[in-house]
Chain A
């Protein structure tokens, strides 16, 4: 069985809309060409939400440290001189993945419900019984940003 996946163009539209609205237009999100399976080599923050119901899946956002910190400062309105705690970054990354995940949920057949976000400093861990159905590799200010959608079950 092949799990239903969101269209990449729709996923891209969702991510760009969330990004431009809350992070700004000043620096664009650019595509990043990497072969499938390439790990993120930078030090990253990751956030995930899961969707359960008519459609089941998980949406994950992984951001290079610098990106996570920069967007947290924008969202929390903190100046460069103000201290940014890990807690602040976790909060902002959580809200980012909540917005992206919520909109991905609406791309898929409903009804379904969205979990609260789980955020960690470090790479995202995926359960072994899940497989990737969509992935967007991007850069922002030259640093990597990755959005993945996983569904339960093995591919095909």
Chain B
């Protein structure tokens, strides 16, 4: 299983990386939506993207709409991980094609619970 972590904060990427690696996922990172599209174009092909909303260059919402426009990326699971917690905005992200939504702050368990909910489970946890 592979995860692409998209957040403009290195601290937040580091936190998320430790969580998903601990669950046995391989990971790659991007600092904004455009960089994330570049990572996808380069062939990383993740099972799930963890996506911040507010980022410079291209925000997470725009990234989701771009991914949903490309049939090649249809099978990819998209999960927002953001401080944006207005109910209308959550509905908007889900309507645009996000599968799940985690609101910051979160505990490591919350990420694990959601991945389980999405049926994403790494087969082997590296030592």
Contacts and interface: CB of A to CB of B under 8 A. Distances in A.
A101 B18 CA distance: 24
A115 B89 CA distance: 15
A144 interface: no
B36 to A, nearest CB: 17
Interface residues of A, number: 26
B15 A102 contact: no
Which among B8, B11, B107 has the highest number of chain A CB atoms within 10 Å? B11
Taking residues whose C-beta sits less than 8 angstroms from the other chain, chain B's interface range is 20 to 34
B54 interface: yes
Interface of B: 8-12, 14-15, 18, 54-56, 82-86, 88-89, 104-107
Q: Is the interface of B mostly helix, strand, loop or mixed?
A: loop
Interface of A: 17-18, 21-22, 72, 75-77, 88, 91-92, 94-95, 98-99, 101-103, 105-106, 110-112, 114-116
Given A18-B105, A21-B107, A99 B83 contact: yes
Given A75-B14, A77-B18, A106-B85, A17 B105 contact: yes
